[in-house]
Amino acid sequence: MQDEQSLDSAANTIDWRVEVEHRRNDLLEDLKGLLRIPSVKDEQTMGQGHPMGREIGRALNYMLELSQQAGFRTKNLDGYVGYAEFGDARNERHIAVLCHLDVVPAGEGWTSPPFEPTIREGKLFARGAIDDKGPTMASFYALRLLQELNLQTKSNIRLIFGTDEENTHLCMEHYKKLEKLPAIGFAPDAEFPIVHAEKGQINTKIVMKPSEERETAGDEGFSLLTFHAGGIANMVPDTAQAVIRGEQQALSSLAEAFQSFFASRKRACHANIDTAVSQVTLTVNGVSAHGMEPEKGVNAGLELIHFLRGASFQSDADRYVACLDTYLFEDCLGQRLGAAYEDDISGPLTINSGIMQFEVDGEAFFHINLRFPVTDHEDRILAKIAEATANYGFAIEPPNIKKPHHVDRNHPMIHRMQRIYAEETQLEPALLTTGGGTYAAHIPSGVAFGPLFPGQESTAHQRDEYMVVDDILTATVIYARAMYELANLEE
C-alpha cells in the first residue's frame, strides 16, 4: 500500500495547475456545450430513457458521450442517472464524485440569455454555471487529467451524473437500487473549504380547510379573488400578486394605501385598477434567494400578505392572510411557530415559504421548505407547525423528509481534503455546515466540496448566475488532487 509520503512524492512530480491550464480552452468549450442545454425538469417531455424530461436526458447523454470519448467506462441507468468510471474494471472498490445536470428554471431579467453562456469580466454567466454544471465539468476534467497522466489508484473513481437533484433525488434512489455506493466521496455542489454537515429538510404543503359558511365580502366590501406568489418551494419568491374585488372608491383608496405602504418599505410595486369589472390587481416585487438562506432574500408573497392583513376580506381570505402573516412574515427562524431550534454543529432552523396560493373558488395553501439542525428531529417540528396552523384551520399534507447528515471532523478523508485545499489556496481549511441538501448525504462519509470559494458571491438559483472562470480552473486542480489521494486512502 502507498503511504502518505509516497503519495506526496507522486503528486509533487506533477504541476497540477499547468496541466489544467493546458486544458483550459477544451474545458470551457465543453462546459459551454453543456450549459446550452436547458436541462430543467419537464413533466411534458418525460418518457422512457428520459424520465426527468427530454432536455435533462440530453444533458446526461452529452456527459456520457464526453466520458466515452475520454476512455472511461460508462453506464446509463435508464436515464435517471449515469456514471463514468476510472480505474481497473476488475476492482470492486471505488470512491464517488456526485454531480448533477438538472437546473432550476431560469426566470426573467437576465442580462444575457440564460442558456447562451457568456463570459464577461472573467465570469461565465449561464443557468447552471455554478449549480452544478461548472463544477461537474471541473470534476470531469480532473478525472480526465488522471487518465491522461496514467496515474494509478487503489480504488476506482466513479463520477456520477444525477438528474433530479433540484427536486426529490429520484435519480439517486434509482441508483441505489441498481448500484452500490461507496463509503467515501464528495459532491462539488456547495462551497469550499469542506461542508461536513447538512441540515435535515422538511418539504410540505399546508392546506386551508374551506369554511362551510357562505362567503361574504369583508367590512370594507373587499373580496380577495386570488393570491399567488412563487412557483418553486426552495426559492424565495420575488413576485406576488393579489386580485381584489370591491367598490370603485374603496379600490382607489386601497391602491393609494398600497403604493404608500411599499414606498415606505422601499419595495417595487404596481397597482392596476380595472373599472370595468370593479377589481384591482396588486403586484409586489421582492428579491429571490436560495431556500436554504431565506434571510438573504425578500419574500414578495409575505410582503404582500403583510399589507393585506390591514384590509378586511371574506372569512376564508382573512384566515389565510392572518395565518401567513402571523407565523411567517419576517420570521424565517420558526420562532412564532414554536419550531425554532439551534445547535453548535449546524446552526439554526430556517423556514422558506416558496409557494403561496389562494383561490376564491379553489385551493388555498402554502408550501414550506424547512432546514433543521443535525441534532433536531422532524417529528418535533411538524407537531409544532401542525398545532400552530390548526388555529387558522390548516392541515399539513404528508411531508417529504430528508434526514440530516454529518461526518465527523476527524475522519481521515476530511484531513486529507483539508491539506489539499490549504496547499492549493493558502487559505484556512475550515469545516462548514449548510442548510442545502447535496448528493453527499447519500453516502455514509460523503461531504460537499466546493465550488464556491470564500468571499465569492453566491448566485445559485438567481438571475445572472455565474462562476468565475479562474475559480473553475482552481476547482479542477483541487478536485484532481482530491480524487487521486482519496482513491489511494487505506480502507
Give the whole-angstrom CA distance, residue 234 versus residue 434.
Answer: 14
Instruction: Kindly list the catalytic residues.
Output: 102, 165
Residue type, 326: T
Residue type, 320: Y
Give the whole-angstrom CA distance, residue 100 versus residue 187.
Answer: 9
Question: CB–CB of 74/68 below 8 Å?
Answer: yes
Give the whole-angstrom CA distance, residue 101 versus residue 37.
Answer: 10
What's the first-to-final CA gap in the chain, in angstroms?
11
Strand partners, 242: 227, 282
Give the whole-angstrom CA distance, residue 358 versus residue 355.
Answer: 11
Grid coordinates given for 56 = 435533462
Question: Could you say which DSSP state residue 94 is in?
Answer: E
Q: Is 382 exposed, middle or buried (0-12, 13-18, 19+ CB in 10 A)?
A: middle
- Strand 451-452 relative to strand 190-191: parallel, antiparallel, unpaired? parallel
Q: Return the sign of the alpha-carbon dihedral for residues 429, 432, 436, 442.
A: positive
- Total residues belonging to the chain: 491
Grid coordinates given for 214 = 357562505
Question: Could you say which DSSP state residue 327 is in?
Answer: H
Grid coordinates given for 278 = 370593479
Mention every residue, 6+ apart, whose C-beta is less than 8 A from residue 392: 208, 319, 320, 322, 323, 326
Residue type, 46: M
Give the whole-angstrom CA distance, residue 99 versus residue 121.
Answer: 27
Question: CB–CB of 319/393 below 8 Å?
Answer: yes
Q: How far is CA 287 from the centre of its chain?
A: 16
Grid coordinates given for 135 = 463544477
Q: Is 276 exposed, middle or buried (0-12, 13-18, 19+ CB in 10 A)?
A: exposed
- Strand 356-359 relative to strand 364-372: parallel, antiparallel, unpaired? antiparallel
